[in-house]
Chains A and B, each alone.
Chain A
Amino acid sequence: MTQKRRKTKSERTRRKEKIVSFVCLLVISVIWSIPLLYMVGSSFKSDLDLQLHPEKLFPSSWDEWTLKHYAGFLVRGGQVDNMPIWMLNSLWSTAASIVVTVVFDLITAYALVFLKFKGRDSIIRFLFLWMAVPGVIGTAPGFVIFSQIRNALDLSSAGTYLYIYFWLIIPSGTGIFNMLLMRNFFRSIPPDIVDSAKSDGAGHRVIFRRLVCPLARSTILLIVLFTFTGSWNNLAWPQLLLSGESSYWQTVTVALTGYTGGASWGQVGVSMATSVFSLIPIIIIFIITQNKMIDGIASTGLKG
């Protein structure tokens, strides 16, 4: 009974494979998480500790833990600073981006999969090709169109704000990758289901709303997550559009560059704290969507 059975060859190789993959994943995740941990740890270090022990991940002793940096950017001179306003700017524009993206993607993917029209395959091939073009290429022409229309419109202050945010939100809704993700999912829906709904008397609107969209829930969540991170972390484009505008109008990422730029060397702690603060929404969204996201990745055949 006590004698241990020698493991079979396949069991041994499987074990070996498991160990190797575990080690690889561990190394990769440590490499990926060190900067994150360093950021979180440094945001709690006191100023002195930041100077003396920059090599440590966390404050060197219990006394060195402080929340000063968080207070430093939230409250300035006894008053609440602009941070909540920036957060709000980021939040509403991200939410709008998500809505626009999901609606665009659902409608486009539906048309590409369930409607038969001439040139459908060419459109899809063109979109695949277009994905190879880096988005940065659109920056310069986009900005020219943006500024010319803005000059021509001669907007009021509030109008300018809305106009800039329109330009932040709408282009992000046209991402091809998410749309193709949705298309892949739609193609996996058995055609019999759609045929059967058609003979039950459903038109395209009913099929879209009652059949296809509920089925696509996990893919929608996946797109929500992708769009949220993309839009929340977006820096170059908002910075371009918002430069020279009122500081109240900035998004979180744009505002953070003020803490991390060359002029703010003395405020390492504050910049770390703001970075951690701005990550909170992403972490919340990730926790909410992660289960569904794995479903979504599995059902769209996307290699994660």
Chain B
Amino acid sequence: MDDQILQDRNTFLSLRHLEKIYPNGEKAVHDFNLEIAKNEFIVIVGPSGCGKSTMLRMIAGLEDVTAGDILLEGELLNYKPSKDRKMAIVFQSYALYPQMNVYDNIAFPLTINRYPMPVRSGESFFWGELKCLLDTDKAESFLGAVYEEASGKKSKRGRTEKLALQFGISFETAKLALSLSEERKGDDLSAALSAWRERAVFEGEKGREALKEEGLAADEEFYLINERGERITENRKLTDYEIKARVFETADKLDLVPYLDKFPRELSGGQMQRVALGRAIIKNVPIFMMDEPLSNLDAKLRLSMRSEIVKLHQRIGATTIYVTHDQTEAMTMATRIVVMSRGFVQQIGTPKQVYNDPANIFVARFIGSPTMNIFKADLDIAAGRFDLDGMSIEAGEGFLRKHEAFYQKAAEKFEDMRANYGPAAREKLLRILSCTGEYKNFGGRRAAYKKGLAKFISLFRKRKVSEEPDAEIAILDEKLSKLRSYAGYDHEVMIGIRPERIRIEKCEQGKDYKNCYVVRPTVCELLGGEYNIHFDFCGQDVVANFDAEQSISQNDEIAVRFSPKDIYVFDPVTGGRIM
């Protein structure tokens, strides 16, 4: 295992053979494997109930891991409590604390944790900071602001904080500057500047002398250092001012400053969403996790927040794991997509791979909007053609070879499973069922729900162990016999084609449409730039895209053509992709 880590230097977060079984015996996640590199935007996508949120909660430490390892830079996280995992999580419901205002909500993580901070050298630190500021070109504007604030009418604390936030200095330094300006009232700016500089250097040196007497040393910026010249750090709670500075910085990033003293119930959905993001950002952690964060927003806001989140991800250089059931979000945001169904990973790949090269029929159906059209077709091996309700399509080059290899491999796999039927083989079978969509029809998997007396009696009865495997073996046998009969013979296949790949022509009079399917569309939806045209084919509704430069209506006839290189061929038994 250690070798593997050394090899994979790119791996940041590594999830290995993760499984989750709930106390009621339901298996929510089966054997999840994923290596995540730094700065990746991983989107886990799948229909509801596919285990994607469970996955996220396991990584975040909110749910126990039944089996498998979670490694962050080679460090095992399985048994670490959630708070030590360096992760921030954003929930679908935002999970804002209703009794706190926005400021307190964002500041919450800072107020309860201790952070390692370099130790300052006492008062000389602030003189040092003042000197640094006076040496920069901001010095004059700073002095001006100090003199202006000194004559201000607000409370002293308020004035000091404003100065400190404005120039990014600590509270005490601002206080020092204000008291200096009291001492030297009426000086003009340039005189004051040199006088202040002298004073700061003098006080700094004095502080350094005093430190030396105590046997301590400090670096240029007056942080304490040890013998090796490294800054000494201590774990401490942040001061109110430090928290305030960071909250304002975060709120500024998210345009939340005007809402800081409002309560969550007074905010709109988008604002609450931003507060939730702010609370995640302020923790300054390398991993972000989001659990369907956009699904409570209205459509327009969702679009803008989508790009906001991607921008945010790039700006703070975080690694993001994002869970959604919306394939559009997955396609647009992800650097890599994980498609899940019924607790099984169906495919992991970049959006392009997942779209253009789906691993199986489930992924093909799930990704893409409008969804891929899938038909049943008959394969004529001798002619090398598919017969689609009278329309004949040539099978692509090398199809027969691939077809032969696919069925040979599949039959071998099934024979192996049949021969040593056990938990491992059962897992494989469930995986196949999860992708063909037969999973839910798979009877007898969960014990029937019993109520009252029947439940009470069933507690004392021995469970019948034999029933379930029988049903499973029956399915296995059925599939195996089908697979055997398919190799080398004509049989049924599933053919898929993306809506934008269907060639449509508006029929003109007197033209011959050979080898085309001529039909009247049932619905023509104008999307602006293009039409979504629905028509009946093979007894089902088919969607195709059509450029909106030509106008089209239900009364026109269209000629439909499929190009052999655009079609995907799937095996109806295992759901796997043949070509």
Q: Residues of A with Cβ closer than 8 Å to B?
A: 190, 192-193, 195-203, 206, 210-211, 214-215
> Does B279 lie at the interface of the complex (its beta carbon under 8 Å from any beta carbon of A)?
yes
Q: Are B279 and A200 in contact (CB under 8 A)?
A: yes
Q: Are A211 and B109 in contact (CB under 8 A)?
A: no
Q: Residues of B with Cβ closer than 8 Å to A?
A: 57, 60-62, 81-83, 85, 87-89, 91-93, 95-99, 108-109, 112-113, 279, 283
Query: For the complex, what is the distance from the CA of A49 to the CA of B358, rounded to whole Å?
Result: 98
Task: Report A-chain residues with C-beta under 8 Å of the C-beta of B92.
Answer: 192
Q: Are A201 and B113 in contact (CB under 8 A)?
A: yes
Q: Are A196 and B98 in contact (CB under 8 A)?
A: no
Q: Are A199 and B112 in contact (CB under 8 A)?
A: no
Beyond A214-B99, A215-B98, is A199–B88 a contact (Cβ under 8 Å)?
yes
Q: Give, as a whole number of angstroms, the nearest-CB distance from A206 to chain B.
A: 5
Query: For the complex, what is the distance from the CA of A193 to the CA of B93, rounded to whole Å?
Result: 9
Q: Which 10 A-B pairs have the closest CB atoms?
A: A201-B83, A196-B95, A192-B95, A200-B109, A201-B113, A214-B99, A192-B91, A199-B82, A198-B82, A199-B89
Extra 20 A-B pairs, beta carbons < 8 Å, given A196-B279, A198-B83: A190-B93, A190-B95, A193-B97, A195-B95, A196-B91, A198-B62, A198-B82, A199-B60, A199-B88, A199-B89, A200-B108, A200-B112, A200-B279, A200-B283, A201-B283, A202-B83, A202-B112, A206-B112, A210-B112, A214-B99
Q: Which of B87, B91, B109 contacts A195 (CB 8 A)?
A: B91
Q: Give, as a whole number of angstroms, the nearest-CB distance from B318 to chain A.
A: 15
Query: For the complex, what is the distance from the CA of A215 to the CA of B96, rounded to whole Å?
Result: 12
Query: For the complex, what is the distance from the CA of A195 to the CA of B61, rounded to whole Å?
Result: 10
A190, A193, A200: residue with the most chain B Cβ atoms closer than 10 Å: A200
Task: Report B-chain residues with C-beta under 8 Å of the C-beta of A197.
Answer: 97, 108
Q: Give, as a whole number of angstroms, the nearest-CB distance from B350 to chain A.
A: 29
Query: For the complex, what is the distance from the CA of A195 to the CA of B95, rounded to whole Å?
Result: 8
Task: Report A-chain residues with C-beta under 8 Å of the C-beta of B85.
Answer: 199
Task: Report A-chain residues with C-beta under 8 Å of the C-beta of B108.
Answer: 197, 200, 202, 210
Query: For the complex, what is the distance from the CA of A202 to the CA of B87, rounded to whole Å?
Result: 13
Q: Are A211 and B97 in contact (CB under 8 A)?
A: yes
Task: Report B-chain residues with C-beta under 8 Å of the C-beta of A196.
Answer: 89, 91, 95, 279
Q: Are A200 and B83 in contact (CB under 8 A)?
A: yes
Query: For the complex, what is the distance from the CA of A165 to the CA of B269, rounded to whole Å?
Result: 53
Q: Which of A190, A195, A206 contacts B62 (CB 8 A)?
A: A195
Q: Give, as a whole number of angstroms, the nearest-CB distance from A191 to chain B.
A: 9
Please give me the residue from chain B that is nearest to A205 by CB atom: B112
Can you list 30 contacts pairing A with B, beta carbon distance less than 8 Å?
Answer: A190-B93, A192-B92, A192-B93, A192-B95, A193-B95, A193-B98, A195-B57, A195-B62, A195-B91, A195-B95, A196-B279, A197-B97, A198-B61, A198-B82, A199-B60, A199-B61, A199-B85, A199-B87, A199-B88, A199-B89, A200-B108, A200-B113, A200-B283, A201-B113, A202-B83, A202-B112, A206-B112, A214-B99, A215-B98, A215-B99
